[in-house]
Structure 1
């Protein structure tokens, strides 16, 4: 047992410094993926409804565009959920907010699997979207806290969400393949698949409750010092004691409320960081929701083999290119930085889209390889890095707000890809790839113009100053 004197805590910044200097004893990629479990549920459900879009349209007698619009309501609701995430997290804490976000997802997924009409589907997608919007800022903030923002593994751990995304989408097709053999009603496959996703959401919720727990930084900001000391001891192996003159330690002391996070995010210090994170996140979401979500549909247009062939091809592309790209991106981000890696990924996607547009459907196996290369460039590059940039650009007191805002803005790109791509594909066929190439082009240009690199930056050192500013804003506005 260590004989060193206990650390003395007087303010939340002391806890931030201790957490940064002592990564969690029980951490690593496994715990990071548990924390990022909501992202994997998001990926699973997105891929499942992308697969079921045409079946939903036929069953409820609506157009494919209308079905895509209904499915896209999850993204609109997630936008709202992302914007309300910070005040909810501040009120509930990490542990209970995790349960709220994933509980909404599990309930809505189970309900949509039995939806008798399109209006129930719409309502369930809205509920699911709010849950997902709340969950993501929690997940990435938890990963940073567990690994320590100064740790060399911090950016790598956050960016693991992209590998988790492709693991989850691969699982979708691996679930659908046996279900396709077991059922005689092909149009019900999407219902079975979504119901399986509800069960997976419950497993994520339980795993987080026992393996992740409460945030030491949240407890410190709320001046719950006894709880803070316990978390530091149990999770980080840090023996700490609270000074008699610590903030809020006196009898009758009250935890300060904080407001004004969004105002700080757009001041002189953080404006460029906010714009870069939001643009990278939005453009990657647009390109992915056009190609990745509708991958079985796209493959059906360039390959033969029916439903089993498109599902098998989708599983192969996601496993061989998506999971590999996500893993390599997590390993490369520390070496090359989030901005440069995003630029490289956007460039690969843009070139492949232009070549696909020129090829048409005349070279199906080359088209399959190029689609895989798009998934690889996306996964290794901007696919995860928009959120990594947002997570590592802000100190803990405004990190949930920054991630929630970037995730909310990102949903506009996802909506554009989800709704517009079926229309472009139906109208233009493979020539639609030319138009889609504009999206990674915008992302690449933004990375060239804004030279902010968040990986390795000591942004948590800014927390005390930011916390004073957002607390002062609250006193003025009350």
Structure 2
């Protein structure tokens, strides 16, 4: 506990104090609560990926069209990601958390009882906008817990990848449990989506209790007394508002130029690196990871139970382990280099899988596990880590929201194209998919920006002045 008393004269003072004094509680539990919306995103993506062929059969459409309808959540999330910065700056972190998760909860509950494909489409759009709002909010909240200058921020932010695979492992455990109690196979996805809505309610409650408001946002909104209370409660910092306080204009006005700043000379390469890493990892994951039961059903014998059990094992042993290892070693290797190595190993594994996967099912299972591991330990979480730690707080939600929005294009491509390509080419489809990690590898090799440990929050005042100048 710090015993000094600090005087707050401007918002940057609050930003500096947050970076110099990490939150009193930065345990894995608190970090995962902050990242809770991402866990719900993972759960619903895996559940709807499992349900794709059943949705097609129930509503009398092709699997390709069903995948396109399901991908509407990603288009909506792209829009939500672009709206996130404005919403967060307008209402603050606490209310934005409720808005994002609230939309996801309502959408999930409605999907579970959807009577037709148009109802499903509308519900997926509602869920997507909510998830799009939530993601930049979640990673920004985690960065604020640690302070962006600490290399531990990279570890904390990147834990979302381990959390993602924990969540997808829960999906297959839920499906196996439902299947064991004689729920009809065609209805499993409905029950699973509904259970995901209950998880979303739990996340909302935990966040409200343990995460709360952002001190940085409160300061930028000229709510300095509130910022001081948050600093005391969350960071153990005694701070008072000085008499000669320097207020800023309404943050909702000042942030109109945020997206332009992302592509100025200083931030352009950071934005490109974060977006490409995020997009390529999303493409490869939504092809291999989301449709893992579909892929395994075409390789392994044993029907639904075998496919679900294999998917759970791959996610738990390879995805969760890879995410945990990746979060620990990123402080040593850096996010760019680690992403590059991960992309390279996924590229090689896909080539081998295309060559030998058809002939040896167990080798294919091992290679799919290695792809999930190298993805999870490498670029899987690092696109968002790069985006989160490359920008100061005033444009961080914009940077993360933009990268997440662009990332959704890769997710859409993987989600829609993979069932079609797999149905046409079977294991030869892995050759085509190998182009995706190759693009990620080359981008990381050409752009050398490394955000881990960089003091980007010191750039906040400069960015705010630039946005102000643009507005004038």
TM-score by length of 1: 0.97
2:253 equivalent to 1:257? yes
In the TM superposition, what are the counterparts of 1:71-470 in structure 2 within 5 Å?
71-248=70-247, 257-258=253-254, 259-470=256-467
Equivalent position of 1:56 in the other structure: 55
SS in 2 for 1:93: helix
**CA–CA separation in structure 2 for the residues paired with 1:161 and 1:438:** 25
Q: 1:3 to 1:56 in 2, by over 3 A?
A: closer
Q: 2-side partners of 1:50 and 1:237: how far apart? A: 44
User: 1:471: how far off?
Assistant: 2.7
Paired residues of 2:89 and 2:252 also in contact (CA < 8 A): no
Deviations 1:243-270 (A, max 9, x none): 1111239xxx866731200111100000
| Kept in 2: contact 1:281–1:383 (CA 8 A) | yes
Please give the alpha-carbon distance, in whole angstroms, between the structure 2 residues aligned to 1:215 and 1:331: 26
Q: Distance in 2 between matches of 1:181 and 1:313?
A: 16
Residue 2 to residue 289, structure 1, CA distance change in 2 (3 Å)? closer
Distance of aligned partners of 1:2 and 1:363 in 2 relative to their CA distance in 1, 3 Å threshold: closer
Runs of 5+ in structure 1 lacking a partner?
none
Question: Which stretch has the larger CA shift, 179-188 or 156-165?
Answer: 179-188
- The alignment partner of 1:46 has SS state of helix
Contact 1:248 1:255 in 2 (8 A): no
The 1-side partners of 2:270 and 2:151 are apart by 20
For residue 361 of structure 1, report the CA deviation from its aligned partner.
1.8
Distance between the aligned counterparts of 1:203 and 1:41, measured in 2? Answer: 11
Q: How far, CA to CA, are the matches of 1:270 and 1:328 in structure 2?
A: 29
Secondary structure of the 1:241 match is strand
Find the aligned partners of 1:2 and 1:401 in 2 and give their Cα distance: 32
Task: Report the Cα distance in structure 1 between the residues aligned to 2:270 and 2:177, rounded to whole angstroms.
Answer: 45
Residues 170 and 318 in structure 1, CA contact (< 8 A), matched pair in contact too: yes
Give SS of 1:7's match. Answer: strand
Distance verdict in 2 for CA 1:367–1:11, change over 3 Å = same
Shift of residue 152 of structure 1?
2.7
2-structure distance, mates of 1:451, 1:349? 21
Structure 2: runs of 5+ lacking an equivalent: none
Q: Size of the alignment, in residue pairs?
A: 471
1-structure distance, mates of 2:315, 2:253: 44
Aligned CA distance change for structure 1 residues 254 and 414 (closer, same or farther; 3 Å): closer
